[in-house]
A and B are shown apart, each in its own frame.
Chain A
Amino acid sequence: MDFMALEPSLYTVKAVLILDNDGNRLLSKYYDTELYPSIKEQKNFEKSVFNKSHKADNEIAFLEGLTIVYKSSVDLFFYVVGSAQENELMLMMVLNCLFDTLSQILRKNVEKRYLLDNLDGVYLVVDEIIDGGIILESDPQQVIQKVNYRVLQSAKEQIKWSILK
């Protein structure tokens, strides 16, 4: 039993995952390179995490020696993963920041199709919240300002742009 506190460090987040409601990976960033180095291990982990979380919307779980906080919306599942001794509230802040930012950017339609249509924005948001495992920003308003992303409005507008090559 590890009684020693964690080495004080800014590296608090081990991974961020966004899965769809079949457990497939839409976006995942693993910041701890030793955690699951190969794709196969990552996919196995995502499967376990999904199995554990998609039935009961319980917010927080413990799996494979890691603390996982999660949130779901319509057909998406968002996960933030930290070590077992990490401050759970810190991980929740990251999760909430991610979710609230995406919520605003996607105009409250936090669902798969819309997310994938604006996947570039999602990548930028994640990049602004966590950098290499360090929490960069925790306030959704700040993130939105920095990303400064304009969501694609409608199908018609997208067609218009693709014609205008």
Chain B
Amino acid sequence: MIKKFDKKDEESGSGSNPFQHLEKSAVLQEARIFNETPINPRRCLHILTKIIYLLNQGEHFGTTEATEAFFAMTRLFQSNDQTLRRMCYLTIKEMANISEDVIIVTSSLTKDMTGKEDVYRGPAIRALCRITDTTMLQAIERYMKQAIVDKVPSVSSSALVSSLHMVRMSYDVVKRWVNEAQEAASSDNIMVQYHALGLLYHLRKNDRLAVSKMLNKFTKSGLKSPFAYCMLIRIASRLLEETEGGHDSPLFDFIESCLRNKHEMVVYEAASAIVHMPNCTARELAPAVSVLQLFCSSPKAALRYAAVRTLNKVAMKHPSAVTACNLDLENLITDSNRSIATLAITTLLKTGSESSVDRLMKQISSFVSEISDEFKVVVVQAISALCQKYPRKHSVMMNFLSNMLRDDGGFEYKRAIVDCIISIIEENPESKETGLAHLCEFIEDCEHTVLATKILHLLGREGPRTPSPSKYIRFIFNRVVLESEAVRAAAVSALAKFGAQNDDLLPSVLVLMQRCMMDSDDEVRDRATFYMNVLQQKQKALNAAYIFNGLSVSVPGLEKSLHQYTLEPSEKPFDMKTVPLATTTVSEQKTELAPVASSKLPEKLAPSRQDIYQEQLAAIPEFQGLGPLFKSSEPVQLTEAETEYVVRCIKHTFASHMVFQFDCTNTLNDQLLQKVVVQMEPSEAYEIVQYVPAASLPYSQPGSCYSLVRLPEDDPTAVSCTFSCTMKYLVRDCDPNTGEPDDDGYDDEYVLEDLEVTVADHIQKVLKPNFAAAWEEVGDEFEKEETFALASVRTLEEAVNNIVSFLGMQPCERSDKVPENKNSHILFLAGKALRLFVWASCNIVICVMP
């Protein structure tokens, strides 16, 4: 049913849409009237509108029907109705990609473009350029050049803009029109100036000198167009950045002068450009900042928003420059536009001084309840940054954060707050008790299982070490009684840790644990029974292994080993030692998040680097019987940069072997390398077992070859070794253009840098949350004490870093952070060397030589 042209229905509801129930086939059927004569402009217009509406709504047109409709539309060129003609141009542009043979309208469009009706010429040019391809472009080149310098502004603009669109397709052709564009740039019309400038820049942007000259000319000649000014400012800042020009150059002066332009748009563009420049001094920033300050009190929301957003960016690099605006920013906290208010708050948080923290917190608390969750998270993150800056203010901020925690809010918001509190606790030992107390209060009434379990684990870890641990037990045990299974299970684990660490609490904990054994959920009962038994043994070693320090193996690795075990029925019980260790995850750096609305968090656990290598190596038949991969090193470069062959090595350690993976790249395009191996000569008792060559290395396609080496069994101390490496291969010269190699080749070799295997390669980092317990667990029997002099090291920090990288062990309990102004420091390290765990407690002392 063709839609009704419901003109009479103007009274019937303002919500009705005459286009709502259009049917594509019906509309296309109607389009047949285009072929009738005489042409009825009104009706044809309406049908064209319907077609474009359908296209805009996403309706799919098949090629045949689109082409049919397109051809029918071309009949409408016979009419002289202006609006109809313009709509035809529009339809051509809309259907250019879905119809075939669109170039049939070229002659009609060319006629209109050069005709007498000025009102057709601009749009006709734009339509024509939309359907033109490279060959056709040369045919209409003459017309385009004339159009660019035409006196009618709309014609010139249309030609310039279309030329810019076509640069991607035909840079060489459009480049020939640069003189015409230059002439157009001296037009009086403000839009033509803008378009000409844009085209000229785009054509010349790879030639810095040309851009520079162009800028000089235009900045002196005083354009009128505010758009052109904005463009000039951007070009100038880009040029300054590329040439690393000093701020005394005329380019900078030009931008600075734009701060006094009469158009707000230009003033803002200039301020924004100055503020974004690297290495700006406070003096240079000052005029830009004062302009932005003025904008903060503008009645136009867009101006206020622009100003506050830019000030927010300045505050990251130069907080002192923004302090002058603090009062204006505080006024914006109550702005009706919530984006503006949030930006104002986060800026103040960055620039706030220690004394203003209290006042800021008060202001924020009134404001936070009104903004959306998205913004609340942004604010919390800004507070977190502030906490790190002013650690002494932790009690004020902790109070404030706990108040926020009590208010309503979504999961992301509460999580951000909990993370913030946890980071304060970790950074600042003084705040620990208050922080834990606040978190306890929170879990009394927390609906988010993830957060409750996280906090319970934290309590279990930190609570036992506080002066009066018993007060936390009540909170934890309440969770066991009241909450869901996951939370109850976490509470049981936390309780066990208290029992293990505090002997006087142990009897009470055992009683509570007994009660937990009656729980309705099996996970809870299992854990309670398990911990109960472990605790009753009262042995430190067991406590350490099973209660304090959890699973140290990699979870995907464990899964795979278990699966393997179930596939091959065996008499022997499953051996945990066959599972590769977890590689410790690098803690993420805290990145600044300015208002970025949607941050999609990766949900799945990505396989670690080691798991990926394990898979790759397992695929190579020669390496089948080696057992699980213990450790893979970071890549080591064996060639300098810019050499003919680029080689780097990754060392994979197994139980009694090492596999060296050489990733090689051939950077010579006139050579093809084949049968590539890296021959190794060891300095110690390592035995080369086998080489797995890379079959072929064409130009710039990386390939890998491997060497299998057996570790010396008789001498366990011979861990370090130096290998001299030579790459040997068959080389065939080939044609650089086609890559076709010659038939015969010759053997050749290429000397690489020596490869070192050190202690660190045999040690895997293991993170132990509770170092003291693990240390006690080992007992004195295996302890060895030595003193070393570190001659070339100057500072404690350097010493710590060197020891960590030499031994390849994992620093525990954050002992890698050296507090300032200390002369000695104790570093806790943990690692695993194949079958043995290694602990090291290093007491580093600075000695002053007399």
Residues of A within 8 A of B (CB): 1, 3-10, 20, 22, 24-29, 39, 42-43, 56, 58-65, 69, 75, 87-93, 111-113, 116-117, 119-121, 123-124, 127, 131-132, 134-138, 146-150, 155, 158-159, 161-162, 164-165
Contact = CB atoms under 8 A, between A and B. Distances in A.
Nearest to A89: B265
B764 interface: no
Interface of B: 5, 7-8, 10, 14-19, 40, 42-43, 45-46, 48-49, 52-53, 56-58, 82-83, 86-87, 90, 93, 119, 122-123, 126, 154, 157-158, 161-162, 164-165, 191, 194-195, 198-199, 201-202, 227, 230-231, 234-235, 237-238, 241, 264-265, 268-269, 272-273, 276, 278, 300-303, 305-306, 309, 313, 316, 336-339, 591-592, 594-598
Given A6-B234, A10-B194, A120-B87, A39 B58 contact: yes
17 contacts: A4-B241, A5-B234, A5-B237, A5-B238, A8-B231, A8-B234, A9-B202, A29-B56, A59-B301, A59-B305, A62-B339, A62-B595, A87-B272, A89-B265, A131-B126, A131-B158, A161-B42
A42 B58 CA distance: 10
A120 B49 contact: yes
A111 B14 CA distance: 9
A65 B597 contact: yes
Contacts of B18: 116-117
A89 B56 contact: no
A90 to B, nearest CB: 6
A92 B264 CA distance: 12
A111 B161 CA distance: 32
Contacts of B56: 25, 27-29
Contacts of B594: 1
A118 B750 CA distance: 76
Given A135-B227, A149-B83, A7 B42 contact: no
Contact of B302 (A7, A24, A92, A111): A92
Given A27-B56, A60-B337, A89-B302, A8 B119 contact: no
B301 A58 contact: yes
B336 A56 contact: yes
A134 B42 contact: no
A131 B268 contact: no
Contacts of A43: 58
Contact of A116 (B17, B227, B337, B339): B17
Given A9-B202, A61-B339, A93-B265, A124 B86 contact: yes
B592 A1 contact: yes
A22 B49 CA distance: 22
Secondary structure class of chain A's binding surface, majority of residues: mixed
B306 A88 contact: yes
Contacts of B165: 132
Given A123-B49, A155-B7, A155-B8, A136 B17 contact: no
A69 B7 contact: no
Contacts of B191: 135-138
Contacts of A112: 14-15, 17
A65 B593 CA distance: 12
B303 to A, nearest CB: 7
A117 to B, nearest CB: 7
Contact of B337 (A4, A20, A56, A91): A56
A62 B276 contact: no
Contacts of B122: 146
B597 A62 contact: yes
A122 B518 CA distance: 73
B87 A124 contact: yes
Counting chain B CB atoms within 10 Å of each CB, the highest count among A56, A88, A134, A135 belongs to A88
Contacts of A69: 302
Contacts of A58: 301, 336-339
Contacts of A63: 597
B383 to A, nearest CB: 19
Contact of A162 (B10, B42, B591): B42
Contacts of A3: 276, 278, 313
A165 B43 contact: yes
A88 B49 contact: no
Contacts of A75: 14-15
A149 B165 CA distance: 27
Contacts of A111: 14
Contact of A5 (B17, B276, B300, B303): B276
Nearest to A1: B592
Nearest to B189: A142
A134 B161 contact: yes
A91 B339 CA distance: 17
A136 B161 contact: yes
Nearest to B83: A149
Contacts of B40: 164-165
B161 to A, nearest CB: 5
Given A124-B86, A124-B87, A159-B7, A89 B264 contact: yes
A75 B303 CA distance: 26
A90 B230 contact: yes
Given A25-B57, A58-B301, 5 more contacts: A10-B199, A27-B56, A116-B19, A123-B90, A131-B126
